[in-house]
Amino acid sequence: MRPILLAGLRRTTPLSDRWGYDRGQPIDRYYIERFLDEYRGDIRGHVLEVKDDAYTRQFGDAIRADVLDIDPGNARVTIVADLAAANAIEENRFTCFVLTQTLQYVYNLRAAVEHAHRILQPGGVLLVTLPGVSRVTCESDAVHGDYWRFTRDSAALLFREVFGDDVTIRTYGNVFAAIAFLTGMAREELTEKELDVHDERFPVIVAVRARKR
């Protein structure tokens, strides 16, 4: 059998230690934007987003946008709270909650999902992205730690236990995209043909649309 030539990937350290930001757009962000573009009609009314409101502004038509963060030093934050202990946020407040690449840093996942459900208005939509394949964030880079990676099945059980049946699960990525993302290649270094093949055995991200009854 002839060996597969890995060229620049035959290495024990990544090409980028910043998920590819220093080379272009990270591959997981390409998939996140594909997901949010597909469901941009849900990003309307009173929208909540974590860290900043960049995706709300890019994809949504919000009347008002709030920013949630556990860090009070974030200049863009309007609500300081831990999502797993967000009792101070009133229920039925938001039309949409854009929650991207956050829940891996929350140890008490069930509590975080329950609060996300509680603070949505009836009929409100939670748009979530979760890492399937990703490097681990070192403890010094995360607020509390990097705890979880997800599959279609784990996401389906987690969100359907809280939201019921109105939950859609999508996976994005394939084995080549996953390898490229792990090594720090950027979206610009792959073709759309390579990126747009989706194999649920190798999800770069798992995406969830959950609607409150």
Provide the whole-model pTM. Answer: 0.93
- Both tokens of residue 209? 């649309």
Domain for residue 192, yes or no?
no
CA 98 to chain centroid: 9
Domain for residue 196, yes or no?
no
pLDDT of amino acid 4 = 44
Q: Are 132 and 151 in contact (CB under 8 A)?
A: yes
Q: Are 159 and 56 in contact (CB under 8 A)?
A: no
> Could you tell me the residue range of the domain that residue 84 belongs to?
28-172+205-211
* Full DSSP string of 9-70: G-SSS-S-SSTTTTTSSBHHHHHHHHHHHHTGGGSEEEEEEES-SHHHHHH-EEEEEEEEES
Q: What is the pLDDT of residues 128-169, one digit of tens each?
A: 999 999 999 876 555 678 999 999 999 999 999 999 999 999
pLDDT of 205 above 60: yes
Domain for residue 131, yes or no?
yes
Residue 81 sits in a domain whose CATH number is: 3.40.50.150
Domain for residue 133, yes or no?
yes
Q: Are 197 and 27 in contact (CB under 8 A)?
A: no
Domain for residue 1, yes or no?
no
> pLDDT band for position 210 (50/70/90)?
very high
pLDDT of 52 above 90: yes
Domain for residue 79, yes or no?
yes
pLDDT of amino acid 151 = 98
Q: How far apart, in whole angstroms, are the C-alpha atoms of residue 73 and residue 71?
A: 5
pLDDT of amino acid 1 = 42
Q: What is the pLDDT of residues 182-199, one digit of tens each?
A: 999 999 999 999 999 999
Number of domains in the chain: 1
| Among 132, 59, 140, 42, residue whose Cα is nearest residue 95 | 42
Segment 8-14 mean pLDDT? 83
Q: How far apart, in whole angstroms, are the C-alpha atoms of residue 54 and residue 119?
A: 21
Segment 64-87 mean pLDDT? 96
Domain for residue 97, yes or no?
yes
Q: With H, G, I as helix, E, B as strand and everything else as coil, classify residue 106.
A: coil
Q: What is the pLDDT of residues 92-139, one digit of tens each?
A: 999 999 999 999 999 999 999 999 999 999 999 999 999 999 999 876
